Amino acid sequence: MWVQTGGPPDKPVILFDYSTSRAQEVPTRLLDGYRGYVMTDDYAGYNALGAQAGVERLGCWAHARRKFIEAQKVQPKGKKGRADIALNRINKLYGIERDLKAYGDAERKIGRHEQSLPILAQLKSWIERRSHRSLLRTPWAKPSVTSQATGASWNDTSRKAI
């Protein structure tokens, strides 16, 4: 099942499309001619979308956050670990979004610049300082996890604040 949302704020649309395939041809077909933003997880089937002219792919913090939750589960019981630190920062981003929900687009953009960008910069710096050390021995070391949470898709995931 492929789900798309969009439309003007006063007339939102949710479109469901069933396909037996998860191949990149499906989202490419569904969004043929589309220009704008597409928020996805790090599934490789979406890579072709980001290559389309006029399409800007955004990463999903919920999916990146999930990888840190998975890493948190393998930490020693009762001990605060690196996953907790990352989740704390990501949860601050969620809190900012909750606080900004009642505001219009322009105000949310300003709020994200003022409040979210500093947290994103701290999180990125923190991850980069650790990515070549102990993180490589954790569940984050899996290629898709590393790109989702720390590497290749960092710009996609952090772009939402801009």
pLDDT digits (tens, 9 = 90+) for 9-38: 899 999 999 999 989 999 999 999 999 988
Number of domains in the chain: 2
* Mean pLDDT confidence for 139-143: 47
Number of Cβ within 10 Å of residue 158's Cβ equals 20
Residues 83, 72: contact at Cβ < 8 Å? yes
Same domain for 54 and 125, yes or no, is no
Evaluate if pTM is beyond 0.85.
no
Same domain for 77 and 19, yes or no, is no
| Segment 88-126, tens digit of pLDDT | 999 999 999 999 999 999 999 999 999 999 999 999 898
Same domain for 41 and 85, yes or no, is no
User: CA–CA separation, 63 vs 50, rounded Å?
Assistant: 18
**Which residue in this structure is represented by tokens 């089937």?**
45
Angle at 92 between CA 70 and CA 142, to 5 degrees: 25
The length of the chain in residues reads 162
Number of Cβ within 10 Å of residue 83's Cβ equals 21
Domain final position from 58, 80, 99: 58
Same domain for 72 and 144, yes or no, is yes
Higher pLDDT, 149 or 90: 90
